[in-house]
Structure 1
């Protein structure tokens, strides 16, 4: 994993395609100051000074791929409402190609965060957690049938809002397995849906999600290995990448080949969206022809870039190159029991 190899890997990302299917959200921020307590109830009164909107969920994954030079296709659902229009405009501004299912019975998922003095006061969620309607599901699969052949890598971005569900997976997995050259399927998991991900190519849980998937507490190297093997037994997935926060990543290529990739974060201000960056960079790396270890190592660099910024950030090729050149060459090691 020399500097030259990693810099060449960054260059190879440009122009490759990745499909992202999943829960699309609008992140809404209201930022201001608290100067008094409400006379109506013992709660702070936030005087709003700034309002902003960002792509969340699967949209943030797609934005990460686009900012790395890739060509994402974002597939999700939005409501026929004002927030849906804001979300679609953000996709256009980010240069994303989208195929969105409009559902009049389903509001656009919105997470509103009210922030005062750089601290979150409260979060308000507007959402309907349910699968697509039968008509919406049929429209989705008509769309997939016409586009799947063009994509070698697919991300399922599951935030537990219902888009990735039993009905979807029961149609999706047989569809791709029946293709002459099935695409690689990467999943950012939601604990409640673990059993839906049978046989996928790569699962990317964090430590907490891995522990929940294995029904155990994960606290260190031995428990990471044990949890990983339990997840393989449960899901029969091909590969597993457990992100370990400040301790880097554990990459399982099967149950017996486990490698540890050290963290590349110099500063950690905000881990928001780091999981989106990891799966986006890994997927784009695989789409460009990298082996899994190289793609995951590059993803670890990208995660180190975004956690040094506040909010759901992304990494650019220039950011990656600068980080690679400034840090020592990564020492990837084998983990054994």
Structure 2
């Protein structure tokens, strides 16, 4: 079933809505301390830019052969234009609104000797203006019926707000066939996610949403119960890092999917891979358990790479073939 699922992902459609960001890297060496202040001087010898936030979700879907449409808002600036170019290069269809009242969100990471020295953020983390929301929903009304699955990629930069969620959930309810709505949550916005189809927090985010510490099976179950009560969501997927995933199919059925990671070098972007793969498999018609199991394989591939990596069908098939069939248990 899992092997067949990989081949079946190609061409299926997912709508991505949320915070599009530019990840900017300055990489170099430190040989001295500045005479101006007690800080290292980084001699930069490499610079790169990659898609971040919702863009990395789109990159994951594109690399798996899916057809995504990414809708977001960026500034009317050079970084916004660069994000547009990067999306085109990655094969991601976009409808990007340019808003001159806000800068494009950019995270600049300065790295020396494989360690991050400092991160510099350019952002304005406030809700969109009324004109931007009106333009956004004009676009959404014209396309939402074409997509069986929607990902809300929330990085807390203002795009996902109370105004947005109220209008969006009302719009979804008018669709001829209601799409499934998946959310990668941001802790500060938990109360906005009322009634979504699937929430995908990691253990830290689940604990923050449930107002408790999550450390073991008992606390995972307790946190899940609290999140259902708080949000009235339909399903919940808590990613447990090296311990796999806990999938709550409604309030009363919890399944544990063991991890498939052979090596763990970098967990950056693993959450994007999980929600992207799950959404694409759901769009292809697979059930939630199969979709999340496939996402677990995909996450196992990307954490074995450095940086916000993605996986391609051939790599995913290789992982499925090399690793044993997962022993999913009921909690």
The question of a shared fold, defined as TM-score above 0.5 by the shorter chain, is answered with yes
Aligned equivalent of 1:39: 35
Quote the Cα distance in structure 2 between the aligned partners of 1:195 and 1:11.
37
Q: Which runs of 4+ in 1 moved over 2 A?
A: none
What displacement does 1:181 show? 1.2
Unpaired runs of 5+ in structure 1? none
Aligned equivalent of 1:146: 142
- The number of residues matched between the two structures is 331
Aligned equivalent of 2:92: 96
Quote the Cα distance in structure 2 between the aligned partners of 1:28 and 1:82.
13
Q: SS of 2:98's equivalent?
A: strand
Aligned equivalent of 2:244: 248
Q: Is 2:114 the counterpart of 1:114?
A: no
Aligned equivalent of 1:127: 123
Unpaired runs of 5+ in structure 2? none
What displacement does 1:70 show? 0.1
Aligned equivalent of 2:69: 73
Q: SS of 1:27's equivalent?
A: strand
Aligned equivalent of 1:230: 226
The match for 2:83 among 83, 87, 102 is 87
Output the TM-score relative to the length of structure 1.
0.98
Q: SS of 1:102's equivalent?
A: strand
Quote the Cα distance in structure 2 between the aligned partners of 1:81 and 1:141.
22
Counterpart mapping for 1:249-268 below 5 A: 249-268=245-264
Aligned equivalent of 1:317: 313
Quote the Cα distance in structure 2 between the aligned partners of 1:86 and 1:177.
35
Quote the Cα distance in structure 2 between the aligned partners of 1:81 and 1:52.
18
Q: Is 2:169 the counterpart of 1:170?
A: no
Q: SS of 1:40's equivalent?
A: coil
What displacement does 1:128 show? 0.4
The match for 1:328 among 303, 318, 324 is 324
Deviation by residue 1:264-297 (Cα, 9 ceiling, x = unmatched): 0000000000000000000000000000000000
What displacement does 1:180 show? 2.5
Deviation by residue 1:153-176 (Cα, 9 ceiling, x = unmatched): 000000000000001011011111
Q: SS of 1:205's equivalent?
A: coil
Aligned equivalent of 1:159: 155
Quote the Cα distance in structure 2 between the aligned partners of 1:12 and 1:265.
23
Q: SS of 2:27's equivalent?
A: strand
Does the 8 Å contact 2:128/2:159 carry over to 1? Answer: yes
Does the 8 Å contact 2:145/2:176 carry over to 1? Answer: no
Q: SS of 2:175's equivalent?
A: coil
Output the TM-score relative to the length of structure 2.
0.99
Aligned equivalent of 2:196: 200
Aligned equivalent of 2:177: 181
Q: SS of 2:204's equivalent?
A: helix
Deviation by residue 1:167-192 (Cα, 9 ceiling, x = unmatched): 10110111111222110000000011
Q: Is 2:18 the counterpart of 1:22?
A: yes
